[in-house]
Structures are given as structure tokens and as C-alpha cells.
Amino acid sequence: MLDKIRSQLVKNAAQILRSPVHFLPTKIQNRALLEGLKTVFKEALEDGDFEFLEEKWLKVHIRDLNLSWYISYCNEQLVVSDTMQQEDVSFSGNLNDLVLIAGRKEDPDTLFFQRRLSIEGDTELGLEVKNLMDSVDLDALPKPMLSALTHLADFVYKGTQPSTNPNEVANAYSN
């Protein structure tokens, strides 16, 4: 029963979140994303690993939420904008797939070849972004952030798996 509820929540997550997220002012969304990125990429920012993004724009699009952000690096600072920029590379995927990537439950390459993750534009720049994401040491994240990400990714992963309950499997085949 709990597996079925989890599965339904995961399946409908974007639909459930779409309205509340769109009512949240974009200034707050941008600020939250920027602060999250600065926390996740703290080491990379300190090491100057974002220089490849100088004067270039990365578009991140969550398809099923219809949300997009543009990320760049200017004057040794990350910049986040929701205003359309001429992106150099674009990453897009559905909410659950992006959560699974962030929580390291799915490999971005696998999702790319399954056409669940789209990378368009400057492929070299896209590869640098992907490599930077792969280099993040999740254990270096603040414990509350790591715990939240791990629990969310586990929840989504389990919610996307086929049911192992024999009664639910039997019911699925009898319908």
C-alpha cells in the first residue's frame, strides 16, 4: 500500500508542484537556486573551476514543471537568471530524472541515451558542465542538505521501480 502511494506521489510530483512553484516569485526561486548552487559547488567556486562558463550561458529546463533558469559565471561569481538568455548549452529533463541525477541514483549518460535527459548546443561546454557535476563530493555538502537530497532521491528512485508486492503485481495483470 505504501509503495503504491509513493509511486503515485512520484508519478504526479510535477503536477502537484507546478502551481505552487509558479506562484513563488521568480526572485525567490532565483535566489534559492543560486544559494543552493553556491553551497553544492563551494569547492569548485573557490578553485575557479567555473571559468569555462565565463561569458557563456547554461540553460537548465525542468520540462514537466515548465521552469527554466540561465546560469553563467561573471566576475568570479555565479549568476542565475530566469530571463531568457542566448544559451550556449541547454540541459533539460523531467523533475524526477533531475532529482535522480542529483542524488546519484541515475547516471546522466544513461538518461541521455534513453532520451530522458537532453543536452543541446555546445557539446564541449556541456561535457565540462557534466564533468563538474560529477566531481561534486556529496559528502562535503552540509549534513541537512545531504540528508534531504539522499532521502528525496531514494524516495523518487523507489517510486519509479516496479512493484515487488505479489498482490499488486497480480492486480496489475488482472486489470
Q: Output the tens digit of pLDDT for each of the chain's 175 residues.
A: 888 998 999 998 888 898 888 889 989 999 999 999 999 999 999 999 999 999 999 999 999 999 999 999 999 999 999 888 899 999 999 999 999 999 999 998 899 899 999 999 999 999 999 999 888 888 988 999 999 999 999 999 999 998 665 555 445 444 4
Q: Which runs of E-coded beta strand occur in the chain?
A: 58-62, 67-74, 77-81, 89-93, 117-121
Domain count, the chain: 1
Structural domain span for residue 45: 1-160
Is residue 174 one of the residues assigned to a domain?
no
What pLDDT sits at residue 174?
Answer: 45
Is residue 53 one of the residues assigned to a domain?
yes
Is residue 141 one of the residues assigned to a domain?
yes
- How far is residue 113's CA from residue 49's CA, in Å, rounded to a whole number? 27
pTM for this prediction: 0.83
Nearest to 56 by CA among 38, 40, 79, 36: 79
Position 135, amino acid: S
What pLDDT sits at residue 168?
Answer: 53
Is residue 173 one of the residues assigned to a domain?
no
Please report, for residues 10, 39, 45, 86, 99, the alpha-carbon distance to residue 157 in angstroms, rounded to integers and kept in the order given.
9, 24, 30, 34, 9
Is residue 44 one of the residues assigned to a domain?
yes
Is residue 169 one of the residues assigned to a domain?
no
What pLDDT sits at residue 104?
Answer: 93
Is residue 98 one of the residues assigned to a domain?
yes
Q: What is the CATH number of the domain that holds 51?
A: 3.30.1050.10
